[in-house]
Structure 1
């Protein structure tokens, strides 16, 4: 008689999975012995053939770990061997509940799963498996893995980013195939880019962005049916700027009819003047002595000849020779791609005894296209000579009064020009002082008789500021052993950041000018940031 009461499975006590499996094993042994006895009795009694057991075998525990190494369309799954296991079954599915899983079997501890979908998350599990009965033991804990991106024969585009404005980013990339089209995506996180934008050419501009924010851009090539030809490029980051620089300058180019003995003509100097200006890529430039009279033998004035030489995108704010807001020889030239002209005009400055020609303040308000900020720009050429000191002071006072009226005291203002006065002049540099008293700042701090100090200077970077702004056509550039040279030409600003100042001199190692000296003045240029 069999007695099962000694087993915990029947005693009401709790049993773990290993204990239950051990109990089942013992029961199976006892049942086998019972069946053997019954088979013997059936033979002795002639009842019939021996009874046979028809139960599934007990399989070992599942492997304790499961690892995956994946590519775009396949995964290699591996696990440690289990004692007593004759084989293993593996299931994988895109759902963690395995509702429609695919099962594979193997006698090894590694298996290759192929035919997977790129960039897709899969779940997998493994169990001991009996090849004879196809029985499967308990499943291991499931793991997840994500297949890699689709592999292509062509490498993805190489992307570079630039910020043409503070609220936009332009992406440019290499061409991968002759007839390829492209898709581009942008976002604030490299792993969470927005919807793809389709473009034909290898460039795209994203507008309406936040300032001082890092964005990521990724691009891939596609064919005419929008099927991918390459993988997505690695996301490239770029932070949109708070503001973009504005390059401003002043240049007395010497008038067409002012040629003195031994000096080169405008025709001989023009290309040097043009290359000097283009080399500095100013957004806005005040020029002086740009004659409005027609040049001999040509139906064109010097200032128009200069603008024509500069070419697009440069233009002059007023093309009139006289009247209608023109300022005779003082002109404002600007880059039409960088700036939008809003309004322009001129004011006749005071004249008096000793004055030789009429002098003007020419002005213009612009919108910086990259930032949308509006500013006021002024340019002048004051009377020259020792006998007109008081006249220059009167001219400056009218200039500051006019600028204040136009700007309403609110617009950032940049005032440039040939002031025909310097820090060594007897009795003080009164026009300079008047500009400062009116609230204008000299980035160089080139105060009266300053040498080894620059009171109030705030320019961040200096290039050749110890060279003077005039040269007298001397081959040896005028360089002083001080922080600042002697300046007749100035760039005054209201409160704003000035990142750089350059006194433009093209010289060799010995300090001598190279090639044609463009003018008897050197161009001065500053890089500013509008507030």
Structure 2
């Protein structure tokens, strides 16, 4: 695995970003007296750095487009999937206003694809005692474990963040499910639901985002939405079901593809990238972000603007 390399100066100029060295203290954040946690959220499958991706599909070239896209969206929190260690390092170096949590799925350190969470360091304080990664398996604490029929390890990570503007906290979970094995996806949904239900501060809002490798009608997804779903040949309902941000704003819309396989077209219903939020959240905006060529990934990022009112 090569170490992260700093993006070309073009990307630096686009965002006013520089090389990560000694960082200044976080900027002051205005207090929000109504107690509303207002978030811009993004989930972004970056497409792993692959030597077989040539020309504009090569990470060395499309990394600029990825940084440009993130700078335009200005997320407060964003999750990434498929990012190798060097890709995470590239983004972190080019986006110094963000902090990061996540590990490689193969060894729990730097090997393999990351499913990770970036968050604005001026807005949020990470609860270091309530964050981590678990493997989507019967042994979730063992790095690299896989025993649900998926051939490669799959993971989820989480972090608890405190919003400096409101002094309220919330949880972010990020995940990347298996692309071939439906039983694995269903087991992943159950495990993540249990982890959400048993979080240390059960009254705090939750965001779950990532590449589920499953469209909205997939039983593993409908289970997370609190709908009656058939998992492992039996009907189940998760009582703490979440809300799909995009679908809540675009119900019935036909063109909702996020996995575009480099063709840059949103037509169709291949929507596998999701942002889910606790019931009671106000979803003000949600969209599938279609970037111009050169495409930063073979997935479109999904963005949402969400508010969590004071209880």
Range class of TM-score, shorter chain: 0.7 to 0.9
SS at match of 1:165: coil
Quickly say closer, same or farther: Cα 1:259–1:403, change in 2 above 3 A: farther
Quickly say closer, same or farther: Cα 1:356–1:372, change in 2 above 3 A: same
Contact 1:465 1:502 in 2 (8 A): no
Question: Counterpart of 1:251?
Answer: 44
Mapped to 2, the partners of 1:436 and 1:327 lie a distance apart of: 30
SS at match of 2:203: coil
Mapped to 2, the partners of 1:382 and 1:468 lie a distance apart of: 17
Contact 2:57 2:295 in 1 (8 A): no
SS at match of 1:469: coil
Asked if residue 494 in structure 1 is aligned to residue 283 in structure 2, the reply is no
Question: Counterpart of 1:309?
Answer: 94
Number of paired residues? 255
Contact 1:272 1:517 in 2 (8 A): yes
Mapped to 1, the partners of 2:219 and 2:134 lie a distance apart of: 21
Question: Counterpart of 1:527?
Answer: 305
Contact 2:51 2:58 in 1 (8 A): no
Question: Counterpart of 1:441?
Answer: 243
What are the Cα deviations for residues 150-174 of structure 1, in whole angstroms up to 9, with x where unaligned?
xxxxxxxxxxxxx8321xxxxxxxx
Task: State the shift of 1:384 in Å.
Answer: 0.4
What are the Cα deviations for residues 406-456 of structure 1, in whole angstroms up to 9, with x where unaligned?
244311000000000114xxxx511111101231111333xxxxxxxxxxx
Contact 1:348 1:361 in 2 (8 A): yes
Q: What's the Cα RMSD here?
A: 2.7
Contact 1:326 1:345 in 2 (8 A): no
Task: State the shift of 1:324 in Å.
Answer: 6.3
Question: Counterpart of 2:266?
Answer: 478
Question: Counterpart of 1:282?
Answer: 75
Task: State the shift of 1:251 in Å.
Answer: 0.2
Equivalent in 347, 367, 387 of residue 134 of structure 2: 347
SS at match of 2:246: coil
Matches within 5 A, 1:245-394: 245-257=38-50, 259-260=52-53, 264-292=57-85, 301-310=86-95, 312-318=96-102, 322-323=107-108, 328-343=113-128, 344-350=131-137, 351-352=146-147, 354-385=149-180, 388-394=181-187
Mapped to 1, the partners of 2:40 and 2:296 lie a distance apart of: 20
Quickly say closer, same or farther: Cα 1:404–1:345, change in 2 above 3 A: same
SS at match of 1:302: helix
Contact 2:56 2:294 in 1 (8 A): no
Question: Counterpart of 1:26?
Answer: none
Q: Which has the larger radius of gyration?
A: 1
Contact 1:327 1:360 in 2 (8 A): no
Q: Which has the higher contact order (CA 8 A, sep 6+)?
A: 2
Q: Unmatched 5+ residue regions in structure 2?
A: 1-28, 138-145, 227-237
Contact 1:443 1:498 in 2 (8 A): yes
Quickly say closer, same or farther: Cα 1:276–1:432, change in 2 above 3 A: same
What is the TM-score normalised by the length of structure 1? 0.45
Mapped to 1, the partners of 2:207 and 2:37 lie a distance apart of: 16
Question: Counterpart of 1:232?
Answer: none
Quickly say closer, same or farther: Cα 1:258–1:367, change in 2 above 3 A: farther
Q: Unmatched 5+ residue regions in structure 1?
A: 1-162, 167-210, 212-240, 293-300, 446-456, 507-513
**Greater share of helix:** 2
Task: State the shift of 1:309 in Å.
Answer: 2.0
Quickly say closer, same or farther: Cα 1:334–1:525, change in 2 above 3 A: same
Quickly say closer, same or farther: Cα 1:254–1:320, change in 2 above 3 A: closer
Task: State the shift of 1:404 in Å.
Answer: 1.6
Contact 2:103 2:114 in 1 (8 A): no
What are the Cα deviations for residues 385-421 of structure 1, in whole angstroms up to 9, with x where unaligned?
2xx1011100111011112212443110000000001
